Amino acid sequence: MKKVLSIACVILIIAALLMPVVSADSKYIIDSASLLNDSETAEVDDALAGVSGKYGIDVMVFTLSDYQQFFEENYNENFSTIDDAAEFVCKDLLQNPDNVILMISMSGRDWCIASNEKGHDAFTAYGREYIGDAINDDLHDGDYKKAFIKFANLADDFIAEYEKGTPYDTNHKKMTMTDYLFRFGIPLGAGLIISLIVVIAIRSKYKPVRLKAEANDYLIQGSLQVHQAYDRFIYTSVSRTRKAKSSSSSSHDSGSFGSTSGKF
Amino acid sequence: MAEIFEYKCPCCGGAISFDAGAQKMKCPYCDSEFDPQAFINQDERLKGQAPDEFNWGGSAGQEWDEGETANMNVFVCKSCAGEIVCDENTAATECPYCGNPVVLSGRLSGMLKPDYVIPFRHDKNSAKETLKKYVNSKKFAPGAFKSENKLEEIKGIYVPFWLFDSDTDAAVNYVATTVHTWSDSEYNYTETSFFDVFREGSMSFANIPVDGSTQMPDDLMESIEPFDFGGAVDFQTAYLAGYLADKYDVTMEDSIDRANNRVKSSAEDVLRSTIDFPYATVTPKSSSIQVNNGKAKYALYPVWLLNTDYRGTKYSFAMNGQTGKFTGNLPVSGAKLAALFGGLTVGIGAIVYVVGTLLGLL
């Protein structure tokens, strides 16, 4: 209870700095960029508060119009990357060192997920990239509430797995139904297709009897004479297909802190 | 009236036949060998002889219905006097009682006489050995089929073929394409360019064979091509001794369409081979083929043939008696194929899974 109160105090301080755009009731979301209305903010805050209170790891969302301008004006800090700004928040602004935050900066359409201490143990580079990929499309489409709720739900799942003893990581990947299909369906499909080709090839070898389509064996050598030949260009058609999108995120880890950022 | 020719050994009087290995008439009893040419005069002499007739009385059996015997003929073996029953197209066979080779010369005379014959170059032992290797090399043929096939029943048959010569003028339009691909940051692009390609030329074909017997499957006969007409000789009945032989029952006129189809396809192929530019695709769009100076010949080609039944289905194997090329459809064991399919699927799936996991792709 004491911990929750101390977190609330810090949040209130930050919220005061971000006034007047932040609802006074929000504790785990600071919507400086005004991406959500009041009801959406309350809904996201409830989701984040639920996860944070459940595990003792602060799970927070910050939205800023321009992170460089914000930290320069309010903290006299110049950050060249959103990762540096997120590290400053995780380590210096939040009282609870066990935290994971999602920071959005609208000027450059940047997102960053940063994790510290126990948060860093629960959210490895793999985990942050996984969540970043999961919310990138919603951020791109402007569905911020959906992205933030998804962030809260995934954070719940990731911390729960960490609490069980083995956080999600490259050697312990989070599996969805699609992942299971991908992981087992591709080998099975490859096996079926290759086996089918082999079986069809074998069957055709057992049915070699067929009519000859041509009489090339009976062409008199040297009898061919070409009297007329031309190649004329008729027309050209061009088709295009859109490339698969990639969030192009990058991760950095140092000691007990790590961050992953990308653009939406 | 058809006649029976039997060639007797001048040394011992035994029935002799054409030996594919020696390319001579050979006596199986005293091993004497003779040039087939030496029997031409004998053929002429025998033409003047009347066939034997044996009329039996008695009440056994019953009368044939009208038309029932229209396609059947009875000949009497000159060696053992056994009756040989065969259909109207059989021109050479062997006596089922004494095994003597006989040639029914009446079936090959006049308008039906072949212009050429390619003598057998592979004997029965060679055919049996080839068939044995062929079947044993097919691991997915049912085991029962391998043990049940009857190698001894393989027969050497002279099959009637119409041979077509032609000078061919061809004009073919092709649609050809080239494909160029590139990409930028947002899209992958594919540019397909289409070309009208035209080729006109002339070429000649010689001795395109078309099976002239309805008893021989056309696809089986064409699968053992090519025959080398350079090995053909002027027809002599002596070459038929020791083998079965049929006369044609498909006329030359009825065979022309098959030859035309093959000429048309070849003309398109040959002219296509003159297109040097590396197009991505070349597809015939339209063609005009003119066949000039078309000529046809009638010849007998050597084929080793085995018909066998397996679980109610007939399987035919054929070997080109001149080149030794062997072919024939085989049944496939469903159980063996299913086992292979299942094993491969699991094995390949496991390999892909392990490799994909190790490489971090899965």
Q: What per-residue confidence (pLDDT) applies to A72? A: 93
Of B222, B215, B218, B247, residue with least CA distance to B320: B222
Residues B314 and B343 in one domain: no
- Range of A23-37, A165-179, B98-112 with top mean pLDDT: A165-179
B contact residues 264-283, partner A, Cβ 8 Å cutoff? 265-266, 269-271, 274-275, 277
SS3 sequence of chain B: CCCEECCECCCCCCECEEECCCCEEECCCCCCEECHHHHHHHHHHHHCCCCCCCCCCCCCCCCCCCCCCCCEEEEECCCCCCEEEEECCEEEEECCCCCCEEEEHHHHCHHHCCCEECCCCCCHHHHHHHHHHHHHCCCCCCHHHHHHCCHHHCEEEEEEEEEEEEEEEEEEEEEEEEEEEEECCCEEEEEEEEEEEEEEEEEEEEEEEEECCCCCCHHHHHHCCCCCHHHCEECCHHHHCCCEEECCCCCHHHHHHHHHHHHHHHHHHHHHCCCCCCCCEEEEEEEEEEEEEEEEEEEEEEEEEEEEEECCEEEEEEEECCCCCEEECCCCCHHHHHHHHHHHHHHHHHHHHHHHHHCCCC
Contact list in B for residue A210 (CB cut-off 8 A) is 219, 222-223
User: pTM here?
Assistant: 0.61
B contact residues 200-229, partner A, Cβ 8 Å cutoff? 200-209, 217-220, 222-223, 225-226
In a mutagenesis test of the B interface, which of A197, A205, A219 is the best target, namely the one with the most B β-carbons within 10 Å?
Answer: A219
**B310 and A CB contact within 8 Å:** no
A contact residues 154-213, partner B, Cβ 8 Å cutoff? 170, 182-184, 186-188, 190-192, 194-196, 198-199, 202-203, 205-213
Number of domains in chain B: 3
Residues B253 and B271 in one domain: yes
Instruction: Domain of residue B147: give its range.
Output: 124-331
- Tell which wins on pLDDT, B196 or A183: B196
B141 contacts A187? CB cut-off 8 A: no
* A208, A213, A241: residue with CB nearest B187: A241
Q: What per-residue confidence (pLDDT) applies to B172? A: 92
* A135 inside domain: yes
The CA-atom distances, in angstroms, between B194 and each of A94, B58, B71 are: 66, 82, 59
Instruction: Domain of residue A94: give its range.
Output: 2-169
A–B interface: beta-carbon pairs under 8 A: 192
Residues B104 and B173 in one domain: no
* B65 inside domain: no
Contact list in A for residue B340 (CB cut-off 8 A) is 195, 198-199, 202
Q: What per-residue confidence (pLDDT) applies to A248? A: 66
Give the confidence band of A19 by pLDDT, cuts at 50, 70, 90: very low
SS3 sequence of B192-231: EEEEEEEEEEEEEEEEEEEECCCCCCHHHHHHCCCCCHHH
Q: What per-residue confidence (pLDDT) applies to B71? A: 59
The CA-atom distances, in angstroms, between A185 and each of B241, B311, B348, B349 are: 65, 39, 13, 9
Min Cα distance A57 → chain B (Å) is: 30
Amino acid making up residue B292: N
**B324 and A CB contact within 8 Å:** no
- Domain-terminating residue out of B63, B91, B113: B113
Residues 6+ apart with CB under 8 A from B314: B307, B308
Residues B93 and B232 in one domain: no
Of A157, A137, A149, residue with least CA distance to A39: A149
Q: What per-residue confidence (pLDDT) applies to B53? A: 39
* A13 inside domain: yes
Rounded-to-10 torsion of CA A214, A219, A225, A231? 20
Residues B346 and B311 in one domain: no
**A39 and B CB contact within 8 Å:** no
Residues B158 and B219 in one domain: yes
- Range of A23-27, A151-155, B71-75 with top mean pLDDT: A151-155
In this structure, what DSSP letter does residue A20 have? T
Integer Cα distance of B353 and B362 in angstroms: 7
Residues B296 and B281 in one domain: yes
**B257 and A CB contact within 8 Å:** no
Mean pLDDT, residues A72-93 taken together: 92
pLDDT in tens, chain B (362 residues): 445 566 777 777 777 788 887 788 888 777 778 787 776 655 655 555 444 333 333 333 345 455 555 555 666 667 766 566 566 666 666 665 555 676 665 555 545 678 899 999 998 888 888 888 888 888 888 776 666 556 667 888 899 999 999 899 999 999 999 999 999 888 999 999 999 999 999 999 999 999 998 888 999 999 999 999 999 998 887 888 888 887 788 888 899 889 999 999 999 999 999 999 999 999 999 989 988 888 888 999 999 988 887 888 888 889 999 999 999 998 888 888 899 999 999 999 999 999 988 887 77
Residues B107 and B140 in one domain: no
* A15 inside domain: yes
* 3-state helix, strand and coil shares in percent for chain A, rounded to the nearest 5: 50, 20, 30
Residues 6+ apart with CB under 8 A from B50: none
- Tell which wins on pLDDT, B314 or A122: A122
Number of domains in chain A: 1
- Domain-terminating residue out of B82, B113, B144: B113
What's the mean per-residue pLDDT of chain A? Answer: 87
**B29 and A CB contact within 8 Å:** no
Residues B321 and B218 in one domain: yes
Residues B93 and B155 in one domain: no
| CATH at A86 | 3.10.310.50
Residues B355 and B213 in one domain: no
Residues B311 and B353 in one domain: no
Min Cα distance B357 → chain A (Å) is: 9
Q: Which two tokens stand for residue B341?
A: 């399919």
**Which value does ipTM take for this structure?**
0.73
Q: Which two tokens stand for residue B264?
A: 């048309």
